[in-house]
Amino acid sequence: MKKRIYIIKTIFVAIASLMISSCSEDNLEPIIADDIPVAVQTIDDARQYLNGTYALMADYRYWGRNIIIAGEVRADNVYANGNSGRFIQTAQMNLLPQSGTPTDIMRYAYGALANVNILLDAAEIEGDPSLVSQARGEAYAIRALIHFDLLRLYGQHFVEGQGGLNALGVSYVTSFKGENLYVARSTVAENRDQIYNDLDTALSFLSESQNDPTKYSITTYAALAIKGRVATYFQDYAIARDALSQVIGNFSLTPADQYVDYWAADNPTSASVFELLINATTSPSINGLANIYRGNSYGDIEVLDDFPTDAEFGPNDVRNSPEMIGEDSQGRLRNLGKYPTGGLFDDNIKVIRYAEVVLNYAEALLETNPSLALEFLNSIPENRDGTTYSTANMTNILKERRKELAFEGYRFDDLARTGRDIPVIDNVNQSHGGPDWGSYNYAFPIPRQEVDNNPLAVQNFGYGE
């Protein structure tokens, strides 16, 4: 039984801010109406705002579907079949500034960010100091994660001729309705440093003794795992190693005979570091991952037939079992095992799994202490009854990441951050055609609403603004 009960007023405040922004300013920081109370005065207020933030992050227009599908359909694991018309432009990598996916992700990401900035703007919060400190730590870590999500979608660091780390990133918003209502885009390098700074600040507030045992809130381990994810993305491998080494050993990899059940579990297990709770209040219903992967009414996202072969997985790898990747009633290859719950549509969103932590750690060790990398790399297939490796190298790490993290939204970033073109394994169904690394469409367009309403907004290269 899932335990957390969200306070409706908090969710209303958060969503009201989005609704108001969408019909007025549409700038990066949603405006809350004057008659809606926003002050954070007590620890109960702070917790309500955090719960509302997690609910916004879980929305299908952000972590609950769109950002995950965007990371898959632009790569070489899945394709959009057009069954209900969703994700066609995203799959083609032919998005426009007015396209829904980039617009919705930005709106909900910055909407969630508004909540944590309201909390962080509070000079004093009444309540147990340890609880107040933990709440502030969560807010700083969430702020870092949201900006990282935005950066990997809208930043131009992988677009040729835009300057790499000196390319435009995203607007890093650190105050709700501050003196500067409009925030210019920082460079990618500035964003990276701002993210690290927020994570380090978060860790200075967070306490292991106050960690949420349910894993539905950011904990010390989640903040460290986020730092490791960011550092791996930027190939800051010493930073990744040092952060992730503090997470290693505090969680466990699910063994093969429990792997299918892990994905259908009601509550987080020892293999999860941080999950977003999906319950009756936050359920996306038919708009969520279960229905987009295999639902009768949607079912737009199919697995490519040439997704890693049986030989690459090995004959007994649970990740390639019919319960995980198999045919539907019409003979179409589907992701069946991850986010499997139809009907109630209440699968939690697994934002950070321990398996990803281990793979990030193996990659960091490859560059900083290579003699240890193979042990951690092989620990994943060993717990999946899969094929192990004789050598730890980037090719094998990416191969294992593709098998372990399939359908979770990481594949495009793995290709982009390692300087790879998008592979074409199916000329018919991969409608993006396999863009070369450096193509303008490696970055999303900045939404039209943002460009029209924020005088400091700059459109991304290649999108005609």
**Tell me: the pLDDT tens digits for 294-310?**
988 899 999 999 998 88
Please state at what angle helix 43-58 crosses helix 100-121, rounded to 10 degrees. 170
Is residue 321 over pLDDT 80?
Answer: yes
* pLDDT computed for residue 139 by the predictor: 98
Q: Please tell me the predicted confidence (pLDDT) of residue 393.
A: 98
For residue 146, pLDDT over 60 is answered with: yes
DSSP per position, 313-339: H-TT-GGGSTTTEEE-TTS-EEE-SSS
Contact 55, 11 (CB under 8 A): yes
| pLDDT, tens digit (0-9, with 9 covering 90-100), for 231-243 | 999 999 999 999 9
User: Can you tell me the mean pLDDT for 322-331?
Assistant: 94
Residue type, 218: I
In 201-306, which ranges are E strands? 272-276, 301-303
What is the DSSP-derived secondary structure letter of residue 420? -
Give the confidence band of 193 by pLDDT, cuts at 50, 70, 90.
very high
Q: Which domains occur in the chain, in start order? A: 8-453 (1.25.40.390)
> For the chain, how far is it from start to end, CA to CA, in angstroms?
50
Q: Measuring CA to CA, which residue among 392, 396, 401 is closest to residue 370?
A: 392
Spell out the residues 6+ positions from residue 72 whose beta carbon is closer than 8 angstroms to its own.
78, 301, 406, 407, 408, 409, 411, 412
How many residues are present in the chain? Answer: 465
Rounded to two decimals, what is the model's pTM? 0.93
